[in-house]
Structures are given as structure tokens and as C-alpha cells.
Amino acid sequence: MLQTDHFIRFDRVASVEQTDHGLLADVHTEQLRIDVVRDDVVRIKMSRGGRFDESPTYAVSVDPLEGAGAGGVEFRYEQDRERVRLVTDSLVVTLWLDPFRVDVHRSDGTPVIESAADADGRYWTYATLNDAFTVRRRCGGADAIYGLGEKGGRHNRRGRDFTLWNTDVLSPHASREFTEGREPGDPRGDRTSTEFDPYYVSVPFFHHQTHPDGQMAGSFMDNGYRGSYEFSPATEYRITFEGGQWTEYVFAGPDMPTILTAYTWLTGRMPLPPLWALGYHQCRWHKYDQAAVEALGQRHRDDDFPCDALWLDIDYMDGYRVFTWDEESFPDPQGMLKRLSDQGFRVITIIDPGVKHEPGYWVFDQGLERDVFCRTSGGDTYIGQVWPGNTAFPDFATKEARTWWGELNAAHVQSGLAGIWNDMNEPATGDIPPHAMRFERGTQPHERYRNQYALLMAMGTTEGLLTAMPEQRTFILSRSGFAGIQRYAANWMGDNQARWDHLWLAISMGCGFGISGQSFVGADIGGFQGNSSAELFLRWMQFGALTPFCRNHAETGKIDQYAWAFGEVVHELAREAIRLRYRLMPYIYAAFVRASETGEPIQRPLVFDYQYEAAVRDVDDEYLFGRDLLVAPVDKPGMTARQVYLPTGGWYAWESDEPVTGRAYVIAATPMDRIPLYAKGGAVIPMWPDAPESTAGYHPDLVELHLFVPLGDGRYDSLLVEDDGLTFAALEGRRLRTTLVVERAGESVSLVADVEGEGYPEFRREAFRLVVHGAAPAVVHHDGADLAPEDGAFILPNTGTGFRVEFSA
């Protein structure tokens, strides 16, 4: 734990006044401002040096006070000799005057945040020392903590401490301070451990679940400086930042989905991605040449192995100079990209922020000319070390640098590239320490913007791609990030290991990302570093096919990790896993649509949907993929069966259609051809009738609707969204959005489809194929006509209109 012995506590409020949005108080030498943002959200700000920083980071993407105050959020201001209260319909903020403390409770009196006192009874509501500050809050020993984005270990963070400092995990220079001095056997002393901390992405947002009522509250610190979250003390948690100001958004909840919706309203949501980005991606760090890349694509087509994207790592460049091609290996990149596009492949290249320090290299010269590189405090161009040797770094904290970077990316993709891969953007500086790198033309310290660097880089990259391809949805993948990165880029989980424990880590880490606002995530299938085995690779493919981002990636110099590299049997089983992903594409796409509209995660822990069910609190070896599919990966070698917890409701085993009533543990077989997968009773899972070789140009004339009959009475909503999958036209109404509502009352089951949207030119669907699971009706009543089954299903002629189906279970 951080030592705060010498921190100066603020312990008394001198005066308070009401404001349009809340209150303003004098506390010691500073001012405290509490603003009512929404009925269930408040913002707490403490000045430094008597001034408020109104834009501490680039995370918040809305005006949080727009609509608040008069004519907006209603609140009451109440004051007596001991306290001031701000009261809304959902929460009560209490500012205690002497001793100073800030508590937030829900309107029913349950706690959201409560200031903590030490053993001497002194409250640590806020304390500061030399630009750092700390806050301490009450927390029960059996409470749970979730979130903070990309973190290792169990998804319940209680009992552990974490650092927010974007780190090139496998760099011995960057990770040394976090591994040195550990006790023997401490897993955090090993940077390849699943417990190592910190990672590449910092998200200062978490959910606090109280025990035993299960209610949740949320906290987002809008601060980009290095932070520490200590969840190990027995009766409290502590938050410390080494710079910046206390700017915190507090979310009353009490439901996790409500908190996440509010948080992503504040920091933004994932834009709707292109459909091809949801397909299977093949990547390897390897020195390919043009012929080898085209042969790689052709091998996938010859093998009938679905694939949408091929990726090129650093060796495609000329001496690792960004925005160049190795002309000897790639004499005609534009022609290569055109031929691959004709086969349905998109190609994505890596771009690092480090620009080779080389007078005469046009990117370096242009950066100097435009004065867009980071400087030192003395005014020099900061020099770090990455793949090309000495490198300069764009000062993305300035709009000029972001615009310049966007122009470079725009020119780069004109060759026919489909997206950009941002790597090494912690920023990684190799052997050279990073702290001399300063921002805003040398006026701002490294610490202010380090955690935001990747976010700012993605902002500039997005600007460039939209300039180059204004009609096309963008796709950017980033290694690092901060709160709000979801507005611009997907994240992968960095340089993971080809080990079973890292397969498990991808389950927990993916869920942590999802409930922290970043839905578009995935780990390198098979593991990036080290040699995978046939069994590990297959199990990872089966798991990775059911995650938001699905990419096979491995490092150079190791054994091949292509789908066919482990023999015919593994090849065929891996192909079946990817074919299932492609058949599920309509379901997956609908989950992405929801995420883009509400922030709802795609890969999510069971606690997101079932937080009041005590048994799911610490389940982190299974997850929900969208709302209606439960995935239980195989994360150990030789596993022939595993225990699966099924939460409340009815569930169907995917392979056997066996129904199971929830709130139950089951033993599921895990033969090598599959991992346990369950569909929720009442769900309608839309599927393609077959798995195309890629999503390019695929608009089927038939879509399957797999209806899983509810095991009890109730109503269940599902979603199908059909559009061109590429442009922004869907956001303007040129799509078909079908809400599918299943209701059961006794033996009577109905399915009602309600359709919105104008349609789109590529639409080809002529019918649905309704497959009923959990019942075998001899006939269904469809819009006034009785239909008999054909090959075990019912064909419903449909070209984009609503309908009603009824049958007896």
C-alpha cells in the first residue's frame, strides 16, 4: 500500500453556498464543488491552487451539466449546523462540515460512498501532498469490486491493489519497477504472470457491490495521472493519484447495467463497426513478402476456412519506418491489396507512434517542420528507442499533431488498406526512460498525458480514416488506452503467453474490459509469446470464436500457429469453431448494435446480468456472449468435463438441446470437438444458414431464427439487425431492425416480430427458417396460415415485414 503518513488531511469546511448545479464549499485552502449531473450521478471536484481544471482528460465526451440545474435535474438544497445535503429522487449527497466528509446514499438510505476513518477516528475524505491526493472510503470485508478495465487476476478485485500506469508489459525496462522488490513466490514479480500489474490500458472506473444486498455503486476518477487503487484493507478502499485534481463521478446504481449506461453516456460508446471486423482475423509477426501474403489468403480459401482480414506486423515496413513499405518485399502493395480484396480479404497494417530519428526520412522531417513532436523541459525533441532505433514521438496532446497523424494515416490507407493497428502506444520507449517526454510543446509533464497517449493517438487516426474513407465505418485496434478509448478503437490484450493460464486470463480480462465501457476486445488466439500446443490452440480457437474480437496472432521465431499447423484433426475442429462464429454473425452483430447504443458489454461476467444472485459473484471461468449465450471455455489440458454454473432461468445445451432449469451447477462434457455452450430459454438466436468464406458481399436470402422455448411463463426480447455492414447509412435508417418477442403462457408460445427501418439496397432475404428448440410442434400458426415443418423447421416467407407465430409447447 502507498504510504500516506505525511499527507495533509482536510478536516473542516469553512463555508458553503448553493450553486445552480449543487454546492461550492471552502475547505482549508481549496474549494470543493459538488454538481448534480443526473438524478443518479454526481460529480465531486476539488481545486488545486484555488483553480479548477475543467478539462482534466479527454475521457468525457459530453457536457455533463447540460440540462442540469434549472429546468433540468431537480434537486433540493438543505443545510443545518452540521451538514449540507443535495437531494434528488435517487440519491442524497451529504457534506459534513466538521469533521469534513462526503457521503452519498440512495434515497432508501443504502450507501453509495461513505468517507472512511482511521483507527484514531480521523476521516480521510481528502488528503494531499505535493500534487498527489488520496481518498478513503468504507468497504465491507465481503463486498466485491469489479472493473478498472484491463487488469489481471480474478474479476472480483477485492483483496488486491492495482496501479494505473500504461505499461509495455514485456519490456524489462518498463516493467522493472513493478517486479523488483517482490517477496519470493509473489506472482507479481513475474511480468508474464496472470497477476502482474499494471497492464497496457488504464480505466479509473469501477463498480462496488455491497454484501449481502448485492447493490452496486460506481466511481470514475477523471484523472489521467498515475493512480493507485487499494482494495486490500479489511474495512475500506483507498484511491490515490500522483497528480491532477480530484474529479470524480459517483454513480448511485444500484444495478450494474444502469451504472454502465450512465458511464458510457459520459465517456462515449463504441461506434458501430464494419461487419468484416467481427469476422476471423489472421495475423503473425513474420517477415512476409507479397507472394507469401497472397498465398496465405489463398490457403484459407482453398481450405474453406472463413477469414475476413489479414494483418501485417512491423516487417512490412522499410526499416521499421512508419508509413512506408519495404519495396523489395512488397513491390506492388496496391495491386496486392486489390487482389486480396477481390477474394473478400481486408488487410490491416501496424503503425507505431515512434518515428525513426533520421534526417532525410520524410515523416521525421515533416514532423520537425510542423513542430509536432514531444519535447523535453529544455526544449529538445524527446528521443526514445523503439524498433527502428532512436525515435521521436508525436505530441498527440496538441490538435496539430493529431491532425498531422490523421493525414499520414489517410494517405497510408489510400493504397487499399481497411484499417489501422496501433501498437507500442503506452508509449513504449525501450531502453530510454520516458519521463523526459513532455507534452503541449514541452509545457506539460509526461505524467499528465501518458495514460491518455493511446486515446489521443486513436483520435488522430480516426480523423484521418474518416477523411480518407468518409462513407466507411472505421476500424482501429489499439494496444493501450484510457477511459473513452471505446469511442475510437478496439483493444486487444497485448503480448499474452501461449499458456493455459493466459487462456483463462482472457476470460476474466475480457469481462473486466466489458464492464468498464470497452466492448470490442479480444486476446491473441493461441497466445502471442511462446509455442502453443495442438490442444491449447484448439481450445483457444473454440473460446476465441465466441469473443468480440477474434484474431489468431503469434510472434516471430516460434512454431507456426496457423489453423492448419497442428494437423488435419485440429484444422477441421478449428474450422468448425470459426464456422459457428460466422453462422452466429447476425446474433453477434445485434450484440454490437446494443453495445453501440447503450454501452452494454458483449463479453460480460455473469454478475452483469445476475448481480443479485450470490453464486455468480466470483464466477470468472465462464461468461455471457451477448445476452443469450453462456460460454464455458476449457482452460486446462486434458479436461474431459467441467462444472458450469447456470444462473436463473431456463437454459439449453447447444449441442444436445437438453433443457436445464437455472440456479444450478451442471457437469458438462468437453470432448475435443466443442466447449460447453448454452442458449437462454426464451431467446431467439438469429443465424446465417451457412458459413460464408467471408462477410464480403454476403447477403443471404434466408436467415434462421432459433427459438428456445421458455421453460416457464414470461416475456423475452431478442434482436436482429440487417444493414449493408459497411457504411453509416444504417444510422440514417437504411436498415431493418427486427425486435423478436417471445411470450409463453402455459402451453401457448408466441413469437412476434416488429420491424423498423427503411431497408437497404443489398437486402436479399426472402424468408426466415424458424427452428424450435424445446418443443416439436406439428404445426405453427403464422399470420393466419397453418404451416407444417420442413426438415424439422418452418419456412416463413418474409422480405422485411413484421409477423406473428403461435404454437403449443
Annotated catalytic residue 332 = no
DSSP 188: G
236, 423, 600, 723: which one is catalytic? Answer: 423
Greatest C-alpha distance within the chain: 82
Please state, as a whole number, how many other Cβ atoms lie within 10 Å of the Cβ of residue 241: 24
CA 678/CA 622 separation, integer angstroms: 11
Is there a contact between 171 and 428 (Cβ–Cβ < 8 Å)?
yes
Beta bridge partners of 650: 661
End-to-end CA distance of the chain: 59
Sign of the Cα pseudo-torsion (577, 608, 686, 747, in order): positive
Cell of 276: 468484416
Is there a contact between 694 and 308 (Cβ–Cβ < 8 Å)?
yes
Helix (H) or strand (E) run with residue 23 in it: strand 22-27
Contacts of 665 (CB under 8 A, 6+ apart): 643, 644, 645, 646
495, 620, 628, 724: which one is catalytic? Answer: 495
Is there a contact between 732 and 797 (Cβ–Cβ < 8 Å)?
no
- Nearest residue to 648 (alpha-carbon basis) of 658, 666, 660, 656: 660
544: left (phi over 0), alpha (psi -120 to 50) or beta: alpha
**Three-state secondary-structure class, residue 773:** strand
Is there a contact between 266 and 60 (Cβ–Cβ < 8 Å)?
yes
Task: Transcribe 529-557 into DSSP letters.
Answer: BS---HHHHHHHHHHHTTSSSEEE---TT
- Nearest residue to 370 (alpha-carbon basis) of 343, 400, 348: 400
CA 105/CA 74 separation, integer angstroms: 17
Annotated catalytic residue 693 = no
Half-sphere exposure of 438 (CA within 13 A, CB side): 14
**Three-state secondary-structure class, residue 115:** strand
Annotated catalytic residue 724 = no
CA 166/CA 480 separation, integer angstroms: 7
- Residue 1, classified by CB atoms within 10 Å of its CB into exposed (0-12), middle (13-18) or buried (19+), is exposed
Instruction: Count Cβ neighbours within 10 Å for each residue of 382-413 and write b for 16 or more, e otherwise.
Output: bbbbbbbeebbbbbbbbeebbebbbbbbbebb
Please state, as a whole number, how many other Cβ atoms lie within 10 Å of the Cβ of residue 183: 7
242, 313, 426, 722: which one is catalytic? Answer: 426
CA 39/CA 595 separation, integer angstroms: 23
CA 457/CA 243 separation, integer angstroms: 22
Sign of the Cα pseudo-torsion (794, 799, 805, 809, in order): positive
**Three-state secondary-structure class, residue 403:** helix
- Nearest residue to 27 (alpha-carbon basis) of 44, 4, 6, 43: 44
Task: Transcribe 275-340 into DSSP letters.
Answer: GGGGSEEE---S---HHHHHHHHHHHHHTT----EEEE-GGGSBTTBTT---TTT-S-HHHHHHHH
Active centre residues (catalytic) = 423, 426, 495
